Amino acid sequence: MDSVHAVLIDIDGVLTVSWRPLPGAVEALREIRDAGLPVALVTNTTSRTRASIAGTLADAGFEVTARDILTAPAVTAAYLAERFPGARCALLNSGDIREDLEGVSLVDDDTFAEGAGAPVDVVVVGGAGPEFTYTALNRAFGRLQRGARLVAMHRNLYWRTQDGLQLDTGAFLAGLERAARTEAEVTGKPSAAFFEAALGRLGVPADQAVMVGDDIESDVLGAQRAGVTGVLVKTGKYLPETHRAAGGTPDHVVDSFADVPALLGLGRRR
């Protein structure tokens, strides 16, 4: 793979699980960087800001900074600024990511009655968690019925933690879309906009980049549709049944991120 000049890397399930490094991941990332390949850590994680993610990864031994990380919230902020300038947005998300939503006008439902809430133009759905109560989802449903647009940072159905697979946004988003008879505009992986933003940050064309992920649909096939070489790792949320039932075939499949330097032929480049 001598034509690869940049590497896009998912975080959760590839480098870490529950923010604990997977075996060989720290060393593999270091080897990729030592070979002079620029990297971008691209994640649909919506519970933390870029700075928080970078700090946690650094504490775990990864040599990264916030500049290396591209999150779904950061891409969403740019998307909202371009498509809905000045829009009043209602955010349904688990975790505080306002720092990465700079420039987005977020309404404060705490100042309104428990019913309909503040009038909004766009309902923005992030990562699922305890905040996804019946009241919160029903309020979002009401706003969609009144004409608000629906923007989702991703539609992942689940992710893996140290306690096993956990439900994520996609499980709730499908219900909102069907009930409100609308379709979400997705800004995170696997949207083309997300991969374009990552490639733009690294300054490389799609055919010179590789994407490493554990989600065959969002990470790997999404990247391949954008022209990026896809590498599926058998860690994190990887399941054999989802691999067999996927809508396409990954360009490459490896056991873990520790195998990626060899796949890239880094030893031959030195």
At 133 the three-state DSSP class reads coil
Mean pLDDT in residue range 79-99: 93
Q: pLDDT of 230-254, one tens digit each?
A: 999 999 999 999 999 999 999 999 9
Q: Please say if the pLDDT value at position 133 is more than 80.
A: yes
Task: Supply the DSSP string of 60-95, one letter for each residue.
Answer: TT----GGGEEEHHHHHHHHHHHHSTT-EEEEE-SS
Instruction: State the distance between the two ends of the chain, measured CA to CA, in whole angstroms.
Output: 14
Q: What are phi and psi of 3, to 5 degrees?
A: -80, -5
Question: Is 70 exceeded by the pLDDT of residue 113?
Answer: no
Which is more confident, 252 or 115? 252
Residue 95 has pLDDT above 60, yes or no: yes
| pLDDT category of residue 116 using cuts at 50, 70 and 90 | low
Question: What domains appear along the chain, each with residue ranges and CATH number?
Answer: 6-44+190-264 (3.40.50.1000), 85-186 (3.40.50.1000)
Q: What is the pTM of this model?
A: 0.82
**C-alpha span between 96 and 177 (Å, rounded):** 24
Residue 204 tokens, joined: 């490389």
Q: With 60 as the cut, is the pLDDT of residue 41 above it?
A: yes
Give the residue-averaged pLDDT of 196-210.
95
Q: Decide if 10 contacts 214 (C-beta within 8 A).
A: yes
Lowest mean pLDDT among 100-114, 181-195, 235-249: 100-114
Q: Quote the pLDDT of residue 187.
A: 93
Supply the pLDDT for residue 52: 93
pLDDT band at 269 (very low <50, low <70, confident <90, very high): low
- Residue 50: both structure tokens together: 């870029």
Q: How far apart are CA 145 and CA 162, in angstroms?
A: 38
What residues contact residue 66 under an 8 Å CB cut-off, 6+ apart?
50, 51, 53, 54
Report the mean per-residue pLDDT for the chain. 92
